[in-house]
Structure 1
Amino acid sequence: MIKLMDKLSIFDELSELVILQINSCNEVVQPNSWIERRQHKDYDLWCIQEGQVEINIHENVYTASAGDVILFSPKIAYTATTQSNQCRFIYTHFHLSLGNQQQILDHFQLAGIFDHSLAVEEIRLFTETYNQYKQHIPMSEMRLKGCLTILLSKMMEQHARQNYQGNFIQQTAHQKQTKYLDKLQSVFHFVHKHLHLPIRVKELAAIAGMSEKYFIIYFKQTLGVTPGHYIYQLKMNRARELLYTKCYSIQQIANMLGYPDPYSFSKAFKKYYNVPPSEFV
C-alpha cells in the first residue's frame, strides 16, 4: 500500500507552486432555528466557537462541537443545523492550488469534522489571529493566511499519520479521485532515485505505461505542473540543499544533479532563483 506521507510529500517538493487564496473570512452566530443547504464553489473551513453543528451529507449526520474544525470540499452538497440554543463559528472560504490544479486537496480524504484535540495549538493560533484580523490590526490579514496554511498542514499531517480521515466524501468517490495520483507514484519514486541523471519524459511515460503525449497531459491534470517542471523543481530544491552544506563545488553539484557541465547547471539555477549558485550563500 502506498504510504500517505509519500503522496503528501508533493506539497513540500512543490511548495513554491502552492497558492492559498482566502476569498472571505467572517464570524457568524446562528439561532437554534437555523438550517442551511448549500454547496460551495471553493473550499470552506469552519472553526466552531460555541454550541454544536450538525452536518448532513448523503443522509449521514455528523456533529461538530466547540473547538472542532469542519472542512468542506467544493461542490459537496450539505445541510447544516444546530440543536443547541445557538452556534457560533468562524468561516473561511479559500482556494488552494498546486500549479494549475485547483482542487489538489481532493486527492486526499480531508473533508470532514476534524477533532480539536488533533491540532490544539494550530486552531488556537488561527482563532487568535482571526480576532486580530476583524479588528483590522496591521499585517493581520497576512498572518491569517499563514495560520490557515499551518492549520491545513496539520490536518494533512494527521491524515498522513492515519489519526484523521475525512468522512464527507464517499469512499468510492475518493478512490476514483486518488487513483490518478496513485498511478504516478512509480514515476515519483523513479525521479527521486535518478535525480543524479538526465531524466527523459519518454522513459517516465514508459514507467507509467502511457504514450509520451498522453502522459504529459495526465501528469499536468493530476499534479498541476508538467513532468519537466516537476523534475526541474526537485533538482533546484536539491541544489539549494547542497549549496547550503558548503561541502561541494559547482562542478560537483552539477554532476550530482545530472547536468552535463557547470554552465548548464548555473544557467538553470539562475533562471529559477534569480541569482547564480556562486552567489546564493
Structure 2
Amino acid sequence: MADMSIFDELSEMIAIRINSFNEEDHGRDWIEHKTHSDYDLWFVQSGQVHIQIDGTEHTACAGDVVFFYPQIPYRASAPAEGCRFMYIHFEYGIGGQQRILKDFPLSGIVRHTLIQEESRLFAASFGRTTERGGTPGGRLYLKAGLTAVIARIIELHGQDRYTGAFLKGQSPRRSERNLDTLQPIFQYIDDHLHQPIKMAELAALVGISEKYFISYFKKSLGITPGQYLFQVKMNRARAYIYQKSYTVQQIAGLLGYPDPFTFSKAFKKHYRVPPSKFV
C-alpha cells in the first residue's frame, strides 16, 4: 500500500478546487446512472441510497458519506422512501498530478460513526455558502469543510480503520504511474536526510535509469524528486527549529547541507526568512 505520509509531507503543495455543489431530494422512484469526471462526495441526510458498482450493491444510510472516484460508472437509487443528500464535486491534486487520491482505495461509503465531527463541519460550511445571499468567506468555509472531510478519510485509511469498498480492495489505477513503486524512495530519503542524496541512488532503488526515474516520479506524484526532497528537508528544518535544541550549524548537518550558509540560503528561499528569524 502506498505510504499515506506523503499527504503530510506535501500538505503545502496540495491544491483543492471545488467545481460544483448542491443539495438534492429524491423520491422512491429515483434512479441515476452516471460516471463523473472529477471526485464526488455525497453527504446522506435522510433515507437510504443504494449504489451499484461493477455488479456489487452498497447501501448508504443517513449520516454516511459516499466517496466516488472519477471515471467509475455507478447506478444509484432510493427504492424505499427516497433520500436527501448534499454533494460536492472537486479536484484534489499535488503539483501536476490531479488524480493523486486514486492511488489509494478510498472510494466507498464512510460510515457516520467514523466521520461525524467532520460531516457536521461540512454541513455548517455548506449552509453558510448556500444560504440566501451567501456570507463573506462562505466559499472558504466550504473548502475548509471539504478539506477536513478528506483529511479524516485519509487518516482513517492510514489507521486501517477504513478502506473503500467500491473497488473491491483493488488498486483503482493500474498504470506506470503508481506510487507503490516509489515506496523505497520515500523511506530511503527519510533515512538518509543527513547526507547528500543523488538521483542515481534513488533510481537504482527502483531499478530504472536516472532519466526515466525523474519522469516516472513526476508523473506519479506531480512534482520532481528534487522538489520532494527539498520539501521534506524544509519540513524537518522547521521541526528542528521549533524544538529549540539545535544550532543552525547542527541542523545543516542533520539535513545533509555542507555548511550553515547553504542551509540558511535554502531555508530563506522556502520560508522567506532566515532560520534565525523564524518563529
Q: TM-score range by the shorter chain?
A: over 0.9
Which of 81, 84, 97 pairs up with 1:85? 81
Q: Please name the residue that 2:243 is paired with.
A: 245
In structure 2, C-alpha distance between the alignment counterparts of 1:173 and 1:18, rounded to whole Å: 21
Which of 180, 195, 198 pairs up with 1:197? 195
CA distance 1:157–1:38, change in 2 (3 Å): same
In structure 1, C-alpha distance between the alignment counterparts of 2:59 and 2:255, rounded to whole Å: 51
Residue 126 in 1 paired to residue 122 in 2?
yes
Q: Please name the residue that 2:167 is paired with.
A: 169
Question: Which residues in structure 2 correspond to 1:141-156 (within 5 Å)?
Answer: 141-156=139-154
Q: CA deviation at 1:228?
A: 0.5
CA deviations on 1:188-210 (whole Å, 9 max, x unpaired) are 11100110111111111011111
Question: Which residues in structure 2 correspond to 1:103-122 (within 5 Å)?
Answer: 103-122=99-118
Classify the secondary structure of the residue corresponding to 2:201: helix
Q: Please name the residue that 1:18 is paired with.
A: 14
CA deviations on 1:44-88 (whole Å, 9 max, x unpaired) are 000001111111111111111111110100000111111133211
Which of 178, 181, 193 pairs up with 2:179? 181
CA deviations on 1:92-123 (whole Å, 9 max, x unpaired) are 00000011111111111011111111111111
Residue 31 in 1 paired to residue 27 in 2?
yes
Q: CA deviation at 1:178?
A: 9.8
Residue 225 in 1 paired to residue 223 in 2?
yes
Q: Please name the residue that 1:9 is paired with.
A: 5
- Note the residue ranges of structure 1 that are not aligned, 5 or more in a row: none
CA deviations on 1:131-166 (whole Å, 9 max, x unpaired) are 122111222221111111111111111112222111
CA distance 1:221–1:208, change in 2 (3 Å): same
In structure 1, C-alpha distance between the alignment counterparts of 2:159 and 2:42, rounded to whole Å: 23
Question: Which residues in structure 2 correspond to 1:203-222 (within 5 Å)?
Answer: 203-222=201-220
Identity %, equivalent residues: 49
Classify the secondary structure of the residue corresponding to 1:184: helix
User: In the alignment, residue 20 of structure 2 is paired with which amino acid?
Assistant: S
Q: Please name the residue that 1:277 is paired with.
A: 275
TM-score, structure 2 normalization: 0.95
Residue 157 in 1 paired to residue 152 in 2?
no
Q: CA deviation at 1:227?
A: 0.6
- Note the residue ranges of structure 2 that are not aligned, 5 or more in a row: none
User: In the alignment, residue 172 of structure 2 is paired with which amino acid?
Assistant: H
Does the CA-based 8 Å contact 2:104-2:171 persist in structure 1? no
User: In the alignment, residue 210 of structure 1 is paired with which amino acid?
Assistant: I
In structure 2, C-alpha distance between the alignment counterparts of 1:30 and 1:149, rounded to whole Å: 27
In structure 2, C-alpha distance between the alignment counterparts of 1:277 and 1:178, rounded to whole Å: 39
Does the CA-based 8 Å contact 1:106-1:177 persist in structure 2? no
Q: Please name the residue that 2:234 is paired with.
A: 236
Q: CA deviation at 1:176?
A: 3.1
Does the CA-based 8 Å contact 1:28-1:90 persist in structure 2? yes
Question: RMSD value over aligned CA atoms?
Answer: 1.6
Does the CA-based 8 Å contact 1:236-1:269 persist in structure 2? yes
Residue 55 in 1 paired to residue 51 in 2?
yes
With 245-254 and 92-101 compared, the bigger mean Cα shift is at 245-254
With 168-177 and 191-200 compared, the bigger mean Cα shift is at 168-177
With 94-103 and 165-174 compared, the bigger mean Cα shift is at 165-174
With 12-21 and 252-261 compared, the bigger mean Cα shift is at 252-261
Q: CA deviation at 1:247?
A: 2.2
Does the CA-based 8 Å contact 1:101-1:224 persist in structure 2? yes
Q: Please name the residue that 1:101 is paired with.
A: 97
Does the CA-based 8 Å contact 2:102-2:173 persist in structure 1? no
Q: CA deviation at 1:246?
A: 2.1
CA distance 1:65–1:100, change in 2 (3 Å): same
In structure 2, C-alpha distance between the alignment counterparts of 1:213 and 1:179, rounded to whole Å: 15
In structure 2, C-alpha distance between the alignment counterparts of 1:265 and 1:138, rounded to whole Å: 41
